[in-house]
Amino acid sequence: MLKKTIYILTNSYPEKFETFNSSEINFALKNYDNIKILSFSKIKKKDKKITNLSIFSGVLELLFPKKRKFFKRYFTTLKLVFSKNLKDFLRNIYSYLIALSIVRNIELKNEDIIFSYWLSRATVIAYILNQITDTKFICQGHGSDIYIHPPKNLEEIIKKCKYVLTISEKNKEYLVERFKVPSDKIKVFRLGVSIDFYNKLKNKNIEKANNKTEFISVSGYIKVKGVDLLLKSIEYLVYEKNIKNIHFKIFGKGKLYKKLKRYVKKKRLENYIALNSWINKEQLAKELKNSDCFILTSRSEGLPVVLMEACAAKLPIIATDVGGISEIAKENAILVDKLSPETISLAIEKFLSLDKEKIDNMKKTSEKIYLKEYILENNLKEKYDFIQKLH
């Protein structure tokens, strides 16, 4: 019997910055010799395990087909492309051509499985490919790809896929309720943080420059991440509550960076807020070690890896109660319900009022949560061993 190949289909590998998905895919490539990457990322990398897909290749397959046995299906699947909405139509055309690019460039076997890494465009591509070649596929949802940007025809897609993987129990509940996915078709596999990162944190020395309470947030400068709400809450604490012994370091990337930077300057908050660009793991370890509390004010989330990193760093957490956050933010955290600048301010004030014993207990709990549930290598082995057994 031929050994199957598992193809991870993604637009986020290779990447310019190291993120949780690049860490996961690197692990999969290193530990399983039958895993390959189908990439439609803007960043191209020459590697024998990576096939770089393109719409140009898809057009070639449509006009000058190499796989003639599927030629009739190229036209029957065109019905999946049409939409009255122009944006949806263009997205569908792109997905269709990327699917044809896979057909042209990959010799798919009956045993092979496509693993769509995101429950968004990659899943649409996997579905179209399935309709053309009957190739089995599984898909995976994280956060915004479930709650904000799921495919329009997700219920139909899920009927055809073998399993839906996701990263939290809350995500599973939502998929069952919102998209009528059978519960036994959903498998929860948590993300995590490498034990190497945890050990690196343990070996870092604390280098605090002042006596202010130092908060850290690793997020993104986009609306869904709620940095605007955090800035307004800090403004309120500084000028209305006269709380001055605080400082917030925020790290990320995104289109709202300049706008948020102007807000900090306009409100004269430079002594209390430092907006920074994205940082690598080495820098992150240092910043986490020198912080007193991790804060995340997202409007929507799945189960963010940054909170796992905070737990590995033994940090207390302030976070919004959205998505699967309550699965990691427990006795180690202050959860913010009904998100607003006011509720965030109250949570920060509550943390500032805690005594040393309570904060120390929160730190210990964070570490215990990490060691029990979020060691990356353990969680990834569980997931990819499961995928290997599929047939």
Mean per-residue pLDDT of the chain: 94
* Residue 106 one-letter amino acid: I
Residue 160: CB atoms within 10 Å: 14
Q: Which of 58, 60, 65, 51 is nearest to 106 (CA)?
A: 51
C-alpha distances out from residue 332 to 10, 285, 307, 348, Å: 34, 19, 11, 14
pLDDT in tens, 271-321: 999 999 999 889 999 999 999 999 999 999 989 999 999 999 999 999 999
The Cα–Cα gap between 388 and 143 comes to 25
Please say whether the beta carbons of 243 and 349 come within 8 A.
yes
Q: Average pLDDT in the 240-263 region?
A: 97
Percent of the chain clearing pLDDT 90 (strictly above): 86
DSSP codes of every residue in 184-229: GGEEE----B-HHHHHHHHTPPP---SSSEEEEEE--SSGGGTHHH
The pLDDT of residue 19: 74
Third-level CATH fold of 6-190+376-389: Rossmann fold (3.40.50)
Q: Which of 284, 285, 281, 279 is nearest to 202 (CA)?
A: 285
The pLDDT of residue 1: 47
What CATH number was assigned to the domain covering residues 195-373? 3.40.50.2000
Q: Tell me the whole-structure pTM to 2 decimals.
A: 0.89
C-alpha distances out from residue 95 to 59, 132, 152, 386, Å: 12, 13, 13, 27
Q: Average pLDDT in the 81-94 region?
A: 93
Q: Which of 345, 310, 346, 303 is nearest to 324 (CA)?
A: 303
In the chain, residues under CATH classification 3.40.50.2000 are 6-190+376-389, 195-373
The Cα–Cα gap between 302 and 181 comes to 18
In three-state secondary structure terms, 375 is strand
The pLDDT of residue 143: 87
Answer whether residue 55 shows pLDDT above 60: yes
The pLDDT of residue 2: 57
pLDDT in tens, 152-192: 899 999 999 999 999 999 999 999 999 999 999 999 999 99
Range with the poorest average pLDDT among 149-158, 261-270, 368-377: 149-158
pLDDT in tens, 27-46: 999 999 999 999 998 888 88
The pLDDT of residue 43: 84
Please say whether the beta carbons of 63 and 32 come within 8 A.
no
Answer whether residue 221 shows pLDDT above 60: yes
Buried b (16+ CB within 10 A) or exposed e, 198-221: bebbeeeeeeeeeeebbbbbbbbb
User: How many H-runs (helices) and E-runs (strands) does the chain carry?
Assistant: 16, 13
The Cα–Cα gap between 294 and 291 comes to 8
Backbone φ and ψ for 11, nearest 5 degrees, come out as -105, 10
Residue 107: CB atoms within 10 Å: 8
Q: Which of 340, 305, 321 is nearest to 218 (CA)?
A: 305
pLDDT in tens, 4-31: 999 999 998 877 766 778 889 999 999 9
The pLDDT of residue 199: 95
The pLDDT of residue 275: 97
Q: Which residue has the higher pLDDT, 207 or 283?
A: 283
